[in-house]
Amino acid sequence: MSDHCIRDRDLAAVAAATPEPYYLRRREFLRLFGLGVAASAFLPLTSQAASTGFPDALNAGYKLDGVKITPEDLVTSYNNFNEWGQAKDQPKELANRGWKTRPWSIEIGGLCANPRKMDVDELIQLLGPIERRNYRHRCVEAWSMVIPWDGFPLAKLVDLAQPKGEAKYVRFASFFDSANCRAQRSNDFPWPYTEGLTIEESRHELAFLAVGLYGKPLPNQNGAPIRLVVPWKYGFKSAKSLAKIEFVAEQPKTLWNQLAPNEYGFYANVNPNVDHPRWSQKSERVIGAGFFSGKQATLMFNGYEKQVGHLYAGMDLRKNF
């Protein structure tokens, strides 16, 4: 009995200190993950705690010492999410005009022993517990952030699906919902948004499926309810709002690669030595660093060279950009 009382009281305090939609969503989130009891023990009555959200533990291996985490309001107001506008300040508004990201069905299929279609929250429960990782995020447009993601390794999902031997690639498709998403009524882009990884890349410990950031469920504009995060590749590889994950034998066609193959390669590893045709990739603008901050040097594989370099041993990274 006491558990319930505490929880309700705490949630009332959270409600008082948190904007309505967040509060409702978090409550749902906590309930869904069966974290209610644990949460009540960790949620003090201060508004400070109210804004830090559910208690997933930081994975100490991904703390990223010595870098400044990008403030939350910047992470959630500067997004490339072309389904919801071309300008980066549009998704925050357009993705929150009634677009529903729960309930959400996600399909795992293709060349695997365990294909299934289910509700995203079921999947999250299957793959949990959720952990937090601070990852560098480098956009192909030469800007960067550091983002505290909440989620789990993609490898867990791959293991769950049990891909067959012929599966050499994984194809990720975002939602297609032209009834609710105006941009998808136009043929300017080959919707849905698709991306791909090699099967080795998908099993790498760094490849991540995020369901939250800053300890809260993903806001719509950041790719709710579930998205890919591949920190050593340019941001466009990290497909948002996933509807389908498929194991395939051939390298999948990906959206940006189809639109401009000379600009956006399949691998799209962060690489300061291979320029985009229109701008240098040697350096990047750090979001939130200030008006006169200039740019900082971009690191090979976005600073994850030690962990992922071996995946590309012997590969010509100029050709396979």
| Interacting residue ranges for another protein, rule: CB under 8 A | 73-74, 77-78, 82, 86, 88-89, 141, 143, 188, 259-260, 277-280, 282-283, 285, 287-288, 291-295
| Cβ-based nearer residue to another protein, 96 or 283 | 283
Q: Is 15 exposed, middle or buried (0-12, 13-18, 19+ CB in 10 A)?
A: middle
CB of 140 to another protein, least distance (A): 10
Which distant-in-sequence residues (6+ apart) come within 8 Å of 260 by Cβ? none
> Partners of 174 in the beta sheet?
242
| Cβ-based nearer residue to another protein, 55 or 288 | 288
Q: Is 196 exposed, middle or buried (0-12, 13-18, 19+ CB in 10 A)?
A: buried
| Cβ-based nearer residue to another protein, 131 or 141 | 141
Pairing, β 283-286 against β 295-297: antiparallel
CB of 143 to another protein, least distance (A): 6
Say how far apart CA 184 and CA 17 lie, in whole Å. 37
CB of 266 to another protein, least distance (A): 18
| Cβ-based nearer residue to another protein, 41 or 74 | 74
CB of 294 to another protein, least distance (A): 2
| Cβ-based nearer residue to another protein, 38 or 69 | 69
Q: The tokens 């579930």 sit on which residue?
A: 226
| Cβ-based nearer residue to another protein, 166 or 188 | 188
Quickly count: other Cβ atoms within 10 Å of residue 153's Cβ: 20
CB of 150 to another protein, least distance (A): 21
> Partners of 197 in the beta sheet?
170
CB of 52 to another protein, least distance (A): 21
CB of 167 to another protein, least distance (A): 31
Say how far apart CA 231 and CA 3 lie, in whole Å. 39
| Cβ-based nearer residue to another protein, 36 or 91 | 91
Rounded to 5 degrees, φ, ψ at 161 are: -75, -25
- Residue 269 is classified by DSSP as B
Rounded to 5 degrees, φ, ψ at 310 are: -65, -25
Pairing, β 131-139 against β 242-248: unpaired
- Are the C-beta atoms of residues 181 and 99 closer than 8 Å to each other? yes
